[in-house]
A and B are shown apart, each in its own frame.
Chain A
Amino acid sequence: MADLTSDFLGISSPNPFWLASAPPTDKEYNVRRAFEAGWGGVVWKTLGSEGPPVVNVNGPRYGAIYGADRRLLGLNNIELITDRPLETNLEEIARVKADYPDRAIIVSLMVPCEEQAWKDILPRVSETGADGIELNFGCPHGMSERGMGAAVGQVPEYIEMVTRWCKQYYDKPVIVKLTPNITDVRKPAQAAKNGGADAVSLINTINSITSVNLDLMCPEPTIDGKGSHGGYCGPAVKPIAMNMVAEIARDPETDDLPISGIGGITNWRDAAEFMSLGCGNVQVCTAAMTYGFKIVEEMCSGLSQWMDEKGYDNVSDFVGRAVPNVTDWKYLNLNYIAKAKIDQDECIKCGRCYAVCEDTSHQAISMGEGRVFEVIDEECVACNLCVDVCPVENCISMVEMAAGSIDPRTGKVVQDDYANWTTHPNNPGAVAAE
Chain B
Amino acid sequence: MAHGQTASGIVAGRLTADEIATNFSDLHPAHAPHEASVAADRCYFCYDAPCVTACPTEIDIPLFLRQIQSGQPESAARTIFDQNILGGMCARVCPTETLCQEACVRETAEGKPVEIGRLQRYATDALMATGQHPYVRAAPTGKTVVVVGAGPAGLACAHRLAVLGHEVVVHEAKSKSGGLNEFGIAAYKATNDFARLEVEWLLEIGGITIQNNSAFGSDIGLSDLQNQYDAVFFSIGLGGVNSLHAEGVDLNGVHHAVDFIEGVRQSDDLNELPIGRDVVVIGGGMTAVDAAVKAKLLGAQNVTIAYRRGQDAMGASRFEQDLATSRGVRIMSLVQPISVLGEGASDEIELGYTRSENGKLVATGETVRVSADQVFMAIGQTLDGAPPELTIEAGKIAVTGAGRTSMSGIWAGGDCASGGDDLTVTAVAEGRDAAMDIHEILIG
Q: Which residues of A contact B (CB under 8 A)?
A: 68-70, 348-352, 354-355, 367, 371, 391-392
Contacts and interface: CB of A to CB of B under 8 A. Distances in A.
A349 B48 CA distance: 10
A349 B41 contact: no
Central interface residue in B34, B38, B42, B45, by most chain A CB within 10 Å: B45
B319 interface: no
Nearest to A355: B47
B47 A69 contact: no
A52 B108 CA distance: 64
A68 B38 CA distance: 6
A355 B45 CA distance: 10
Interface of B: 34, 38, 41-42, 44-50, 105-106, 108-109
B71 to A, nearest CB: 11
Nearest to A70: B34
A371 B54 CA distance: 14
A348 B106 contact: yes
A350 B47 contact: yes
B44 A352 contact: yes
A397 B140 CA distance: 59
B38 A371 contact: no
A355 B42 CA distance: 18
A69 B108 contact: no
Central interface residue in B45, B46, B48, B50, by most chain A CB within 10 Å: B46
B109 A68 contact: no
A352 B108 contact: no
A349 B44 CA distance: 11
Nearest to A365: B47
Nearest to A359: B47
Given A349-B108, A350-B105, A68 B41 contact: yes
A354 B47 contact: yes
Contact of B44 (A68, A70, A391): A391
Nearest to A373: B47
Contact of B46 (A68, A69, A70, A352): A352
Contact of B38 (A69, A348, A351, A354): A69
A35 B46 CA distance: 48
Contacts of A354: 47
Given A350-B47, A352-B46, A355-B47, A69 B41 contact: yes
A20 to B, nearest CB: 30
Nearest first, the 9 closest Cβ-Cβ pairs linking A and B are A351-B47, A355-B47, A348-B105, A350-B46, A348-B109, A350-B105, A348-B108, A350-B44, A68-B41
Contacts of A69: 38, 41
Contacts of B38: 68-69
B48 A392 contact: no
Contact of B47 (A70, A348, A352): A352
A70 B45 CA distance: 20
Contacts of A349: 46, 50, 105, 108
